[in-house]
Amino acid sequence: MSKKKNLQLSRDSSISLKAMDKETRQVELSFSSEEPYDRWFGPEILSHQANACELARLNEIGCLLFNHTRDKVVGRIDKAWIENGRGKALVTFDEDEESEIIYQKVLSGTLKGVSVSYRVDSWEEVGPGKVSSDGRFTGPCSIALKWMPLEVSIVSVPADATVGVGREMEEIKPETRSSPLSLYYRQLQFNKNFIGGI
């Protein structure tokens, strides 16, 4: 558990154009859910129970990035909240040249990915066949009981199709979920670095 405490992780999703306001350049999107996500340490679940997700950072200084690149800010986060077990945000695209390129690619449907990066401060480990303390999940899984989104990004390679702009909860079959190959390479590199640093 302590080995995972200070990790910075991310999850990906897809965009729907239904929630876009072309006049204001505002988009309402869903950036997180309780959908289990396979990590190198096993299935991970982000709790969306009351007080599990710390949204102060997003609401105070939140930026909309492109591909998690800190110097590629394409907009701002106007408001972030939890609703029906999902993390949601109202974002506004900037009007500078670089942001306009990304905005137009989102409008055209070329870019459909949304991703959130976050830090987990508290985990609940649920063993195989065991039930989580709130009775909602069966192990094996790791539940992020306290976590904080750091930023939301428009991304070119989405993985979790259960959240995005205008998305509602829908059933996703396990066999249809996929993770980008680059994620596995990053996780392998982290394992190598982490184990080498012990």
The domain locations on the chain are 8-196
Lowest mean pLDDT among 83-87, 142-146, 160-164, 175-179: 175-179
Q: Are residues 83 and 55 in contact, defined by beta-carbon separation less than 8 angstroms? A: no
Q: Which of 174, 117, 115, 135 is nearest to 49 (CA)?
A: 135
Backbone angles phi, psi at 74, to 5 degrees: -115, 0
**Residue 128 pLDDT:** 95
- pLDDT of 73 strictly over 50: yes
**Residue 40 pLDDT:** 85
Q: At 117, is the secondary structure helix, strand, or coil?
A: strand
Q: At 159, is the secondary structure helix, strand, or coil?
A: coil
User: If you search the block for the tokens 């306009």, which residue do you land on?
Assistant: 100
Burial 105-123 (b: 16+ CB within 10 A, else e): ebeeeebbbbbbbbbbeeb
pLDDT class of 170 with cuts at 50, 70, 90: very low
Give the Å distances, CA to CA, from 20 to 4, 13, 49, 85, 90: 36, 16, 28, 22, 10
State the burial class of residue 22 (Cβ atoms within 10 Å of its Cβ: 0-12, 13-18, 19+): exposed
State the burial class of residue 179 (Cβ atoms within 10 Å of its Cβ: 0-12, 13-18, 19+): middle
Give the Å distances, CA to CA, from 101 to 17, 31, 78, 93: 16, 21, 21, 10
Q: At 186, is the secondary structure helix, strand, or coil?
A: helix
**Residue 21 pLDDT:** 78
- pLDDT of 7 strictly over 90: no
**Residue 169 pLDDT:** 31
pLDDT class of 107 with cuts at 50, 70, 90: confident
pLDDT in tens, 110-120: 888 888 999 99
Q: What percent of the chain has pLDDT over 90?
A: 48
